[in-house]
Structure 1
Amino acid sequence: MQVNIKLNSVLEERKISARELSRMTGVRHPSISDMCNNSIKQLPLASLAKICEALDCDIPDILELKKEPS
């Protein structure tokens, strides 16, 4: 199983840039950029909570669990 971060598509739907989300949440822009590129190695729960609060969404709107192909 693999965790997929869908933040980039959520931001595109809402027409919000990663830089604007960084301003809204106080989460560093490079961290948001890594989340958008699905390349972050560790996702601090506090950052995830701030993002969900700013976007008025729930964790499953940002993260999904995908099965890896066999």
Structure 2
Amino acid sequence: MAEKTYTVSGMSCGHCAESITEEVVEVAGRTGVDVDVPAGRVTVTGEALGDAAVRAAIVEEGFEVTGAASAMPA
């Protein structure tokens, strides 16, 4: 299982976290999503995560992925 953390700008509240979570849970291969609004990070876990798909899901909700994904084995 892999874990990727994305730096995301524009998040300011719990609703932001909910909307990102709702969109990212639809990404194939995803097993978990954690949104840390104060830190500006979204961490996604799963098998064979498509980086472009995760980024697209975040952008679809109106946020900007400002940093490269950092990948770590989970």
Give TM-score scaled by structure 2 length. Answer: 0.39
Say which one has the larger Rg: 1
Q: Which has the higher helix share?
A: 1
